[in-house]
Amino acid sequence: MDVRDQFIAEHQDEFEKILKELIALKSISATGEGIDETVQFLRNLLTKLLNAKVEIIPTAGNPVILANIAGKENKHVLFYGHYDVMTPGDTIYWDSDPFEVNKRNNRFYARGVGDNKGQLLAQILGMYTYLQTHHEFPFNVTLFIEGEEEQGSINLEPTVKKIAKTKLQQIDQVFVMDGAFNADGTHVLRLGNRGVFAFELSTTTGSHDNHSGNLGNIMDNPFVQLLKYLDKIYDVKTGTVKLPHFYEGVEKPTEQEKNWIQQLPYDKESILQQSGIKHLDFDKETYYEKLMFEPTFNFFSVKSGYMEKGVKTIIPHQASLKVDCRLVGNQSIAAIKQDLERAFAKEIASGDVQLNYLGSIPPEHTEVNLEEVEKIQQAIVKATGKAYIEPVMPGGVPNYVWKDNLHVPVFTIPYANYDEHNHDFNENLTEKAFYDGIKISYELLRLG
């Protein structure tokens, strides 16, 4: 057993005690419960374990914790995590108290244990392990810990922008520890992520619902009207978006990215089972290109009229639909918004259509140095035995904040198991994932 694993084994009880204490503080960002106590706990922990210089940065919402630890070389690396969690929901559906860590079946169960307190603590404990066994970091480390990720990181960009040229001006690269690794249990290094842009279209054709026997053929049906309006921006037969600038910035994967894709697992039967479709008409490369390099136009909500059982013979007076678009490459949210507003300019002016924006995160794709990517991958391999490289994460995270404001490469290394059930009942983190996260953090410091 090497010095890393020996130290971790000897301090396992201490590490799990800290995890229990951190979980118990709740820190629910939606309600504010436990936020102040969690910030103080982490301030004390970072000072005690890492001898860090800790600063609490106020925001318009929950504060950011900024911790700095000096190292030998003039290299500065930022590690990101968040201390806030989702509400537990109705605790009747939990098998144990969501704010008391329950260890069973080689897993820790609690709200926030996977997303993101367990991953955050794994970073801190990996750094602590390195500091105790090597006495000094090889480079300067900044821990940036936010408290509103579960509310869409609404104050992350304003905060980073405000301190980019002062407290963060020396940062050379960023590591983001959030999300889940591959379903087969293999850890991953992600080099980018798809963005997301969501909007709602709604229309109203009367002051109230009307009996279809009284006004059928007289009153316009808002759902039919909405379909007509939708046809201006989307072709349902081909699945093609008609907005003139929608596909600008969409890029094909490079040969290197295709090579990384070929190393990823492809469980066709599992995909079929999860999706409910009967067959896939494409191979592994096409599957991952669709997930990573192609945008989507997805209807996630359609509402109009009577939604209960049975018949209610009415003409509804309102209809709405909501769309989320997964964005890739250099697609422009501003250009898409402009296209939407031009497409419905007449209808918006007359009041026939209401267009509401629901949120957005730009896509992010790090321009990689292959040598650096291989070094990071090997650090993960040394810690866990194996690592995939994902050119793009299919989901959306606010990594653009670091790239746009600090102008540095961003690497995402999730520490949670694929079935962590984050945001759900019985959220969990496997023991292996927790301790692998500690080891990865340790090995990233060894990169020097």
Ordered DSSP codes for 266-324? --HHHHHHHH--S---S-HHHHHHHHHTS---EEEEEEES--SSS---EE-SEEEEEEE
- pLDDT at position 2: 94
CA 376 to chain centroid: 21
Helix (H, G, I), strand (E, B) or coil at 122: helix
- pLDDT at position 152: 87
Where b means 16+ CB within 10 Å and e means fewer, 29-62 reads beeebbbeebbebbbebbeebbebebeeeebebb
- Alpha carbons 327 and 316: distance in angstroms, whole number: 33
- pLDDT at position 111: 98
Q: How confident is the model at residue 374 (pLDDT cuts 50, 70, 90)?
A: very high
Q: How confident is the model at residue 406 (pLDDT cuts 50, 70, 90)?
A: very high
Strands 387-390 and 187-190: parallel
Helix (H, G, I), strand (E, B) or coil at 106: coil
Asked if the model's pLDDT at residue 438 lies above 90, the reply is yes
Determine which of 151-155, 316-320, 371-375 has the lowest per-residue pLDDT on average. 151-155
Asked if the model's pLDDT at residue 124 lies above 90, the reply is yes
CA dihedral of 429, 435, 438, 441, whole degrees rounded to 10:
-80
- pLDDT at position 397: 86
H or E element, residue 13: helix 12-24
CA-closest candidate to residue 301, choices 356, 370, 382? 356
Interval 175-185 mean pLDDT: 95
- Alpha carbons 315 and 327: distance in angstroms, whole number: 36
Helix (H, G, I), strand (E, B) or coil at 253: coil
| pTM attached to this predicted model | 0.91
Q: Do residues 124 and 50 make contact, with C-beta atoms less than 8 angstroms apart?
A: yes
- Alpha carbons 125 and 133: distance in angstroms, whole number: 12
Percent of the chain exceeding pLDDT 70 equals 100
CA-closest candidate to residue 175, choices 260, 81, 60, 92? 81
The predicted-structure confidence for 26-83, as pLDDT tens digits, reads as follows: 999 999 999 999 999 999 999 999 999 999 999 999 999 999 999 999 999 999 999 9
Q: Is 199 left (phi over 0), alpha (psi -120 to 50) or beta?
A: beta
Asked if the model's pLDDT at residue 98 lies above 80, the reply is yes
- Residues shown for the chain: 448
- Alpha carbons 419 and 175: distance in angstroms, whole number: 22
Residue 278: CB atoms within 10 Å: 6
The residues with which 365 forms a beta bridge, in sequence order, are 192
Q: How confident is the model at residue 420 (pLDDT cuts 50, 70, 90)?
A: very high
Asked if the model's pLDDT at residue 171 lies above 90, the reply is yes
- pLDDT at position 291: 95
- Alpha carbons 83 and 46: distance in angstroms, whole number: 13
Asked if the model's pLDDT at residue 226 lies above 80, the reply is yes
The predicted-structure confidence for 273-287, as pLDDT tens digits, reads as follows: 878 888 888 899 999
Q: Is 135 left (phi over 0), alpha (psi -120 to 50) or beta?
A: left
Interval 220-233 mean pLDDT: 96
Interval 401-409 mean pLDDT: 96
Interval 237-243 mean pLDDT: 97
- pLDDT at position 271: 80
Determine which of 60-74, 128-142, 260-274 has the lowest per-residue pLDDT on average. 260-274
Joined tokens for residue 75: 């290299």
Q: What is the overall mean pLDDT for the chain?
A: 96
Q: Do residues 335 and 295 make contact, with C-beta atoms less than 8 angstroms apart?
A: no
Percent of the chain exceeding pLDDT 90 equals 93
- pLDDT at position 184: 93
What are the structural domains of the chain?
3-193+364-445 (3.40.630.10), 195-250+295-361 (3.30.70.360)
Asked if the model's pLDDT at residue 448 lies above 80, the reply is no
- pLDDT at position 284: 93
Interval 399-415 mean pLDDT: 96
